[in-house]
Amino acid sequence: MSDVMHTLYDILHIVGVALFFCGVMTSMLWLFFAEKWRVGALRTVVKWARIINMVITLPGIVLITVSGLFQSPRTGGLFSQSWLVIGLSLFALSVLVWAIFFTPHLVRLLRIARNPSNPLPVDFFTSLHRLYFYGAIVLILPLGTMFLSIFKPILW
């Protein structure tokens, strides 16, 4: 792989990381602040959080995955370095939590918020607080990946 292509994949990888983190953090922060200060805005914020999840977070995951796969031969392959194996595992776990728990709770919030009943039912807030929990996991796991990707420790 040429240096130009490697640089391009690095840029795409960093853009993907920014999209991924910004998408999840923006969704969670908007929901958190809407819950704390303007409960009436929660219905609108849930709709926009779902859009952000699909338009920003999902492309970030795709960019990280594709650019990472294209860069892996430069390090000897996906399973050649201990830091790469653990980092990839943490990222995969984060994406699984995002897909299996975070996104379904966001969809559930949207479905409940579409019901015009006032005030929002207790189920909404239960699901919202679970979304915060899963969102924190989705954000914390890739921090380990970022640490490993920057410092590249030899772990075995």
Say if CB 42 and CB 35 are below 8 A apart.
yes
pLDDT at 40: 73
Q: Where are the domains of the chain?
A: 3-151
What pLDDT score does 12 carry? Answer: 97
Rounded CA-CA distance 8/1 in Å is 11
Tally Cβ neighbours within 10 Å of residue 110: 16
**Are the C-beta atoms of 59 and 129 separated by less than 8 Å?**
no
pLDDT at 39: 67
pLDDT (tens place) for every residue of the chain, 156 residues total: 689 998 999 999 999 999 999 999 999 999 999 999 876 788 899 999 999 999 999 999 999 999 999 998 888 888 899 999 999 999 999 999 999 999 999 999 999 988 877 788 999 999 999 999 999 999 999 999 999 999 999 988
What predicted TM-score, i.e. pTM, was given to this entire model?
Answer: 0.92
Asked if 153 and 83 count as a contact pair (C-beta separation under 8 A), the reply is yes
pLDDT of residue 38: 75
**Separation CA 136–CA 3 (nearest Å):** 36
